[in-house]
Amino acid sequence: MQKICDIYLLEDISGSSGLLKQLKIFEPKLLFEEDQFYCGFLGLNVNRIVGVAIVTHLRNNRIKSVNVPVEYRDKNLMSEAEAEAVAREHAGNRDVAVRSMARKEVVTNPMYWCFQLEAPGSATAMEGGGIVTVDRLDGHIWQIGETEEYMYDYNNVL
């Protein structure tokens, strides 16, 4: 069974963009206002393989986007506060600070929340902590293999 996906733009793109207009091939009802900018979910319902082709084409044209299963668009997702509690639980009894990596000015993947773990006295996360990624749909911790598989299978990124 193929996963149904939507394309999530990680940056603003003008509705007058020819690249957006080309997406009508996959979803004829899509309307983009030429004087508007679009970021986030586009409202497509395409199979995963078609989504891979779309994000590859967008990336080749210097537009940052990800191919995302529609469950992350259509279902109730975990809030950042709930995900932070999961990240704190994951950190356990270790003496680390958990800090959100979400910033208002940066659009991130809608599938997970990222938190930086910092040990007291460390200058960087790499010195004494790391990063923990919490799935927005079910709250599981993303492992490195899962991240790599998602990036390759859904986004054609090695």
Give the number of domains in the chain: 2
Considering the domain architecture, whether residues 16 and 46 belong to the same structural domain is answered as yes
pLDDT at residue 104 above 60?
no
CB-CB contact of 40 with 73 (8 Å): no
pLDDT in tens, 62-75: 999 999 999 999 99
| Residue 157 structure tokens | 């990124």
> Could you list the residue range(s) of the whole structural domain that residue 42 is in?
4-74
Considering the domain architecture, whether residues 39 and 87 belong to the same structural domain is answered as no
Query: What is the average pLDDT across 135-153?
Result: 95
Q: Which of 74, 103, 132 is the last residue of a domain?
A: 74
Measure the CA–CA gap between 150 and 155, rounded to whole angstroms.
7
Considering the domain architecture, whether residues 93 and 119 belong to the same structural domain is answered as yes
Note the pLDDT of residue 53.
95
Q: How far is CA 48 from CA 1, 22, 38, 45, 137, in A?
A: 10, 18, 21, 9, 18
The answer to whether the predicted template modeling score (pTM) of the entire model surpasses 0.75 is yes
Query: What is the average pLDDT across 7-34?
Result: 92
Measure the CA–CA gap between 43 and 158, rounded to whole angstroms.
26
